Structure 1
């Protein structure tokens, strides 16, 4: 291959490599910026006045489709109501502080005059019985009117699973919760739960943040922006672009002048 064409091909490859790596670096910076904005928006929501029963009733649109733009997202709340203990669900394979166990979810029927609204409360975490994985540690569910403090969030994240539950066919309790035993599920779908039980469950849930009680731990992980890895990836991509540029300048430009001078 003639020297001229070889030089042109190497130059083209170097420019393409620098363009791609620099573009990837800028993409990582943009991802970090987007996450910082979302984290700041979450902090603003968390600093607002806690909502009460009447505020949830005033939403009038519990089945919000665009979760990120929902006014309730990350909003603190102090709700009064009564537990529907027979509708309690244990979510399997959930961890807290690195320990395997279950998230315990119980619907809360709001106090009158908003008793037609029911919010699923992620009450806390209990450990697993390693001798019998189907043995569920009992938790105390007070009867009567209770006050629950927490933060309004989307339903718990779903884990990968096989079988009927992954298709949304998991059974739920009927409309009458009396006498029912807690269910052990891998995932929970609020819409399917509402349809099977006849309860008016809201599309959002409440993550309870009260002090540990009723046999439940509530040491939820603190939310962070999580941008450090994106800055690290951006540094690597920009560093690679700079390395390509340095190698190109050394081997294709400076060496061309050094070799004739030595000759």
Structure 2
């Protein structure tokens, strides 16, 4: 037994024995991460952006449905019997009046022309001209659209528009200009013609010290007036919104395919031996 101890000590002290013992001992290190933080970030970013693009596409589709319903309502209003002026001013405040037809006899109160700035018709920049007329004494005035007139290169020179000068019977469509939340004030430049930046009937009434009916009349015809009167109650139709929806969905699909491609390339690179 004693003779075996020195032999065992010699085996432990030999370099070859130490090497074999060390090789047999497993090396304990940090566990290898299955998914890197960069992959998690890219995945989360892909899901977020893809979801936003798809949501925008569905929002455009919902807008298209709204425009289709609004167009159908406009068609029904166009085919209905015209309103009287008493019916017009008796409608609830804030009611959407665009598309109703109106039949009235009007008389001019003066020759003041109002020009709505920054209008475009068939690629030409200009103004929509208006004039305030009276239907009946003691009632609000009615703003009548005279038509589109082209502007000039010199903004100091305003176009001249022939006003309504006699009593006449008018038939036409009513409309309300949509308000721009970024710029809805009248911003009038005094004179005749009176140039304004927005058709704010409330502020126009305050400026002229008159009360106006809540909608503008676009007559089918005016005596002695040949100016074009463009009718565009819906700035963007349903087809436009459907086209925008297709663009958003296409962008979402293209973005998803691109990110999947990048993830596949990155995975292949990590699998390559060093």
**Does the alignment reach a TM-score above 0.5?**
yes
Contact 1:172 1:193 in 2 (8 A): no
- Count of matched residue pairs: 237
1:49 alignment partner in structure 2: 81
- Cα distance in 1 for partners of 2:247, 2:178 equals 34
Question: Which aligned pairs between 1:114-263 and structure 2 lie closer than 5 A?
Answer: 115-128=138-151, 133-143=156-166, 145-155=167-177, 168=186, 170=188, 181-210=192-221, 213-223=223-233, 226-243=237-254, 246=257
**Runs of 5+ in structure 1 lacking a partner?**
174-180
- Cα distance in 1 for partners of 2:181, 2:40 equals 51
Question: Which of 53, 56, 77 is 1:24 aligned to?
Answer: 56
Contact 1:50 1:77 in 2 (8 A): yes
Change over 3 Å in CA distance of 1:137–1:231 after alignment to 2 = same
1:39 alignment partner in structure 2: 71
- Cα distance in 2 for partners of 1:15, 1:194 equals 52
Secondary structure of the residue aligned to 2:134 is strand
Change over 3 Å in CA distance of 1:215–1:137 after alignment to 2 = farther
Per the TM alignment, residue 147 of structure 1 is displaced from its structure 2 partner at its CA by: 0.9
Question: Which aligned pairs between 1:39-118 and structure 2 lie closer than 5 A?
Answer: 39-59=71-91, 61=92, 64=93, 66=94, 69-70=95-96, 72-111=97-136, 115-118=138-141
- Cα distance in 2 for partners of 1:119, 1:31 equals 32
Q: Pick 1 or 2: higher relative contact order, CA cutoff 8 A, min separation 6.
A: 1
Contact 2:50 2:252 in 1 (8 A): yes
- Range with greater deviation from structure 2 (28-37 or 86-95): 86-95
Contact 2:82 2:101 in 1 (8 A): yes
Contact 2:140 2:212 in 1 (8 A): yes
1:178 alignment partner in structure 2: none
**Runs of 5+ in structure 2 lacking a partner?**
1-30
Contact 2:134 2:141 in 1 (8 A): yes
Contact 2:185 2:200 in 1 (8 A): no
Contact 2:102 2:173 in 1 (8 A): yes
- Cα distance in 1 for partners of 2:181, 2:126 equals 14
Deviations 1:115-146 (A, max 9, x none): 52311111212334557842532415232x21
- Cα distance in 2 for partners of 1:183, 1:80 equals 25
Per the TM alignment, residue 76 of structure 1 is displaced from its structure 2 partner at its CA by: 0.9
**Structure number with larger C-alpha Rg:** 2
What is the TM-score when the length of structure 2 is the normalising length?
0.67
What is the TM-score when the length of structure 1 is the normalising length?
0.69
